[in-house]
Amino acid sequence: MAHYLVTGGAGFIGSHVTELLLKEGHRVRVLDNFSTGKHENIPKGAELFHGDMRHLEEIRPAFEGIDGVFHLAAMPRVPYSIQFPIETNENNVTGTLNVFVAARDAKVKRVVYSASSSAYGNQPRAPYTPDMKPNPLNPYAIQKYVGELYATQFFKLFNLPTVSLRYFNVYGPRMANEGAYVTVIAIFMRQKKAGEPLTIDGDGSQARDFTHVHDVARANYLAMTSEKAGHGEVINIGGGEKPHSVKDIADIIGGPVAYREPRKGDPALTWADLTLTKELIGWEPQIKFGEGLRTLLRENGIEPAS
């Protein structure tokens, strides 16, 4: 049994990582400041360390006796980062650097960093491989990318084993359904329930690689335990299918749609190549998007139109 720390464990993805670790028989401590996280998200059996990663000395005690850190805490909001680049930088960059410093000083054996496919921005070809030149289109994307650079550098400079996982649009139970940045699926579900038209930004042809949160949680566990990884690598975590357009998702949900101006800082496509991921951590997604989406819709009382 290992003792793991999950930063952001009161959030959407972090709560699923925590749940999986507990199920695997490990001890789990959650570090969170509840800026977007919720107490009720934290699975029973996890310890709670209420702290803010922007303050290094405040969070150091959370790392004592910890074998591995899953670093998910962040302010994951694109439009908010455009409006408030300094506040989001303090959380996503300074906070992340503090996590690496605290982990290094506490002699943690590995840190798995939640990176983002937003580092790719738009690329000349797809699917995207981690060796492509990053092209962040907004402050959030820059901030998440800087976290990767620190992850790799902390391995090279200080021998702190790290792995960065670039998630592609994560969806599933407990995903955010309010606030400045919610995924298109959550927005559509809210609109459908309220009897409103589904709002499509631009022409709806923008396509996304969607990944189920249970698959993402499993990827985190494998990234922590795989012997081949831990040398500052950056790998993709995607859904393993051709991307789905926003219009396609609206069709599955069904009902009237309303078109709006395209959103600033939004890429036209996200699509993960998973070759390196499979090689390094032996992970492949298990949940097909059509199945995962329809299950999520039904869990939320929505009968899919197709």
* Nearest CB to ligand NAD, comparing residues 56 and 255: 56
Nearest distance, CB of residue 49 and ligand NAD, angstroms? 9
Q: Which two tokens stand for residue 93?
A: 């960059």
Amino acid type, 192: K
As a residue count, the chain comes to: 306
Nearest distance, CB of residue 238 and ligand NAD, angstroms? 10
* Nearest CB to ligand NAD, comparing residues 177 and 255: 177
Q: Residue 196 contacts by C-beta under 8 Å, 6 or more apart in sequence?
A: none
* Nearest CB to ligand NAD, comparing residues 183 and 277: 183
Residue 282: how many other CB atoms lie within 10 Å: 12
* Nearest CB to ligand NAD, comparing residues 52 and 197: 52
Catalytic annotation, pick one of 113, 140, 167, 221 = 140
Q: Which two tokens stand for residue 29?
A: 């401590």
* Nearest CB to ligand NAD, comparing residues 25 and 137: 137
Number of H helices, E strands in the chain: 11, 13
140 in active site: yes
Nearest distance, CB of residue 130 and ligand NAD, angstroms? 14
Binding-site ranges for ligand NAD (CB under 6 A): 8, 10-14, 32-37, 52-54, 72-76, 91, 95, 114, 116, 144, 167, 169-170, 176, 183
Nearest distance, CB of residue 36 and ligand NAD, angstroms? 4
Q: What is the DSSP letter of 134?
A: P
- What are the two backbone dihedrals, phi and then psi, of residue 129, each rounded to the nearest 5 degrees? -115, 150
Q: CA-based diameter of the chain, in Å?
A: 55
- What are the two backbone dihedrals, phi and then psi, of residue 149, each rounded to the nearest 5 degrees? -60, -40
CB 17 within 8 A of CB 36: no
Nearest distance, CB of residue 256 and ligand NAD, angstroms? 26
For the annotated catalytic residues, the residue numbers are 140
